[in-house]
Amino acid sequence: MAPPSANRSGSNKRAQLGLFAGYLAAGLGMALGILLLAISLWRPETFNGLRSMASDAAAPVGEVGAAGRVGSRNFFEAIAGYYDAGSKNAELEEEIKIARVKLAEARALAQENERLKAVLSLSDGDVSPITTARLIGSTSTSTRRFAYLSAGRREGVEPGMPVTSPLGLVGRVLEAGANTSRVLLLTDTDSVVPVRRATDNTVAFAEGRADGSLRIRLINLGINPLKVGDIFVTSGAGGMFHPGTAVAMVSEITDDGAIGQLLSNPAATDVVIVKPVWQGELIDTMGDPLANDSEGAPEPEAEPDQAEE
Amino acid sequence: MERLAPSARRDAYGSKINRAHSPVLAYGVPWVTTMLGSLTPMLPIIAPAPILPPLGYLMLLAWRLARPGVLPMWAGFPLGLFNDLYSGQPIGSSILLFSLTMIALELIELRFPWRSFWQDWLIAALFIPLYLMGSALFSGAEISLDRLPLLIPQILLSVIAFPIIAKMISLLDNLRLTRVRRIR
């Protein structure tokens, strides 16, 4: 049976007007939507304040969830640990033996490294992190790849700062609210990171593909020297990311580079580290490309590359 | 003495004696649940690709299909704005798509005033892909045509999730119409 409908106004003048007003209001809302969409596509930073306020307000929900995510994972891991405990024990003892040898080697290397650095009179490259925080959520329904971080301006987080996990680079801060900030993940299509192969100086750009993998585009075209399994680290070009942070591993070779899998999968990281911009002064003198555009990161480097296309 | 029929005193929404519907619940529940659905990005899932169904939109669809008139036609604007604040889309994209959905559903209802589960699901299965593709188009991300398969898992998941959401909404509708207000 058809339900009684408010759409049938009949000859009732008031109902007719009400129906008309409804369409008018919805149409106005739509027009306003088009206007706002045009503004936010043209100037993506226009509504940043509004958005950070909103995510600040919802942050407590996210924090509880993030703690739960870590907790539940530990819970299942604890259960899984009871299975194959014996074989695991033997495996671990073997591993410890190897690790002791490796440790000794590493100590020797560290000593040598120190000596060589002293010779070159280089200062230690360690950077003190701005803060550590949790990823409390991500835009899991949108084709854009943003994550929400549980630290904001109060902890000293500023837009542009790289976000890393112990496994590698996660992304960079796009906007900072009071208690939360929005992070542009490496897999967003607007994210471009200058990288180099860890073993030599094959330089490339790692661009997001929105599906958890990165497209690695070589700068010097020619014979593709990449092999499956190559590791890429940040090169430090552009002055934003500290050089030597792990980014991706090559999983598939393409014509102009490769497809890489992200090394530091944000889904598996609970605590991330916010680091200061590597060469902040340098970027400031280049006219603050960050403030203008959401895809600002390695702008000066990215442009000649895009011109090649 | 004549006995009253049992349904005269009680129905699915509780006792009819001395109780009435609460306007706050009756009008508030659709808005609040849709807004809670829009908070999906605050779920502790850091997704490497778009995968979760857009719960805010599914709830809007389900409410509009289950109870026409509970959400006014202009509801697309405030609910879309709230959705945009969290979804990571540029502000305006959900406002536009939510408003369009409300208008389109009104026109569909004018043409097909009947209701059935299959018809609702069919409408949802038509609107969800359009919404997700529209969102991808307006997102500002550089998604070329050959990358569109990226959306397929999310579209399928959302279409399959719709009946579950619709069932949830019908349970929430019972809550919405529960007689909680005491008449003195």
CATH label of the domain that carries residue A261: 2.40.10.340
Are A137 and A108 part of one and the same domain?
A: no
Query: How far apart are the CA of B184 and the nearest CA of chain A, in angstroms?
Result: 32
- Average pLDDT by consecutive 10-residue portion of chain A (309 residues)? 59 83 91 90 82 82 69 56 71 83 79 72 65 86 87 89 86 89 89 87 87 87 84 85 86 87 77 84 61 46 41
Residues 83-122 of A with CB under 8 A from B: none
Query: How far apart are the CA of B175 and the nearest CA of chain A, in angstroms?
Result: 21
Question: Sorting pLDDT into bands at 50, 70 and 90, what band is B155?
Answer: very high
Report how far residue A167's alpha carbon sits from residue A170's, in angstroms, rounded to the nearest whole number. Answer: 9
Q: CA-CA-CA-CA torsion for A292, A296, A300, A302, nearest 10 degrees?
A: -140
Q: Residue A257 domain-assigned?
A: yes
Q: Is A299 helix (H, G, I), strand (E, B) or coil?
A: helix
Nearest by CB to residue B42, choosing from A44, A136, A145, is: A136
Report how far residue B115's alpha carbon sits from residue A21's, in angstroms, rounded to the nearest whole number. Answer: 25
Report how far residue A245's alpha carbon sits from residue A219's, in angstroms, rounded to the nearest whole number. Answer: 19
Residues 221-260 of A with CB under 8 A from B: none
Of A166, A194, A172, nearest to A185 (Cα)? A172
Mean pLDDT of B5-26: 83
Q: What is the CA radius of gyration of chain B?
A: 19
Nearest by CB to residue B47, choosing from A5, A29, A267, is: A267
pLDDT of residue B59: 95
| Extended strands (E) in chain B | 10-11, 14-15, 19-21, 179-182
Cα three-residue angle A209-A214-A215, rounded to 5 degrees = 85
Whether B171 has a pLDDT exceeding 90, the answer reads yes
Place of tokens 């000649």: A304
From first CA to last CA, the distance across chain B in angstroms is 27
Of A208, A308, A211, nearest to A256 (Cα)? A308
Evaluate whether B81 touches A53 at the Cβ level (below 8 Å). no
Nearest by CB to residue A65, choosing from B44, B89, B150, is: B44
Q: Residue A139 domain-assigned?
A: yes
Interface contact A28, partner B, CB < 8 A? yes
Are A97 and A178 part of one and the same domain?
A: no
Report how far residue A220's alpha carbon sits from residue A204's, in angstroms, rounded to the nearest whole number. Answer: 8
Evaluate whether A139 touches A146 at the Cβ level (below 8 Å). yes
- The mean of the pLDDT values for chain B is 88
B chain contacts of residue A143, beta-carbon cutoff 8 Å: 50, 135-136, 139, 141, 143, 150-151
Are A145 and A279 part of one and the same domain?
A: yes
Interface contact A306, partner B, CB < 8 A? no
Interface contact B154, partner A, CB < 8 A? yes
Are A223 and A270 part of one and the same domain?
A: yes
Q: Is A14 helix (H, G, I), strand (E, B) or coil?
A: helix
CB contact under 8 A, B106 and A55: no
What are the structure tokens assigned to B127, written together? 């609107």
Question: Of B35, B38, B43, B46, which to mutate for an interface test with A (greatest number of A Cβ within 10 Å)?
Answer: B46
Residue A143: phi, psi to the nearest 5? Answer: -80, -15
Interface contact A179, partner B, CB < 8 A? no
Report how far residue B88's alpha carbon sits from residue A52's, in angstroms, rounded to the nearest whole number. Answer: 11
Are A160 and A89 part of one and the same domain?
A: no
Nearest by CB to residue B42, choosing from A3, A61, A209, is: A61
Question: Of B32, B39, B42, B128, which to mutate for an interface test with A (greatest number of A Cβ within 10 Å)?
Answer: B42
Decide which of B101 and B5 is more confident.
Answer: B101
Question: Of A24, A43, A142, which to mutate for an interface test with B (greatest number of B Cβ within 10 Å)?
Answer: A142
pLDDT of residue A115: 73
Are A179 and A296 part of one and the same domain?
A: yes
Q: Residue A33 domain-assigned?
A: no
CB contact under 8 A, B95 and A36: yes
- B54-82 core/surface letters (b: 16 or more CB in 10 A; e: else): bbbbbbbbbbbbbbbebbebbbbbbbbbb
Are A171 and A283 part of one and the same domain?
A: yes
Query: How far apart are the CA of B101 and the nearest CA of chain A, in angstroms?
Result: 10
**B4: β partners:** none
Are A202 and A93 part of one and the same domain?
A: no
pLDDT of residue A83: 63
Q: Which of A124, A151, A179 is the last residue of a domain?
A: A124
A chain contacts of residue B99, beta-carbon cutoff 8 Å: 26-27, 29-30, 33
pLDDT of residue A304: 43
Q: Residue A103 domain-assigned?
A: yes
Residues 6-65 of B with CB under 8 A from A: 39-55
Q: Is A6 helix (H, G, I), strand (E, B) or coil?
A: coil
What are the structure tokens assigned to B90, written together? 């540029």
Report how far residue A135's alpha carbon sits from residue B46's, in angstroms, rounded to the nearest whole number. Answer: 8
| Extended strands (E) in B4-92 | 10-11, 14-15, 19-21
What are the structure tokens assigned to A273, written together? 């580290």
Are A230 and A104 part of one and the same domain?
A: no
pLDDT in tens, B35-59: 999 988 887 777 778 888 999 999 9
Q: Is B180 helix (H, G, I), strand (E, B) or coil?
A: strand
What are the structure tokens assigned to A111, written together? 């000593």
- Count helices and strands (H / E) in chain B: 6, 4
Are A162 and A291 part of one and the same domain?
A: yes
pLDDT in tens, B73-110: 999 999 999 999 888 888 899 999 999 999 999 999 88
DSSP state letters, B122-143: HHHHHHHHHHHHHHHHHT-S--
Are A236 and A146 part of one and the same domain?
A: yes
How many domains, in total, are found in chain A? 2
Of A210, A129, A205, A141, nearest to A166 (Cα)? A129
Q: Is A255 helix (H, G, I), strand (E, B) or coil?
A: coil
Could you give the percent of chain B with pLDDT greater than 70?
99
Q: Residue A57 domain-assigned?
A: no
Evaluate whether A278 touches A167 at the Cβ level (below 8 Å). no
Q: Which of A124, A153, A183 is the last residue of a domain?
A: A124
The parent domain of residue A118 ranges over: 84-124
pLDDT of residue B51: 84
Q: Is A194 helix (H, G, I), strand (E, B) or coil?
A: strand
Q: Which of A74, A106, A124 is the last residue of a domain?
A: A124
Are A182 and A304 part of one and the same domain?
A: yes
Q: Residue A61 domain-assigned?
A: no
pLDDT of residue A31: 93
CB contact under 8 A, B92 and A36: yes
CB contact under 8 A, A55 and B85: yes
A chain contacts of residue B76, beta-carbon cutoff 8 Å: 26, 29-30, 33
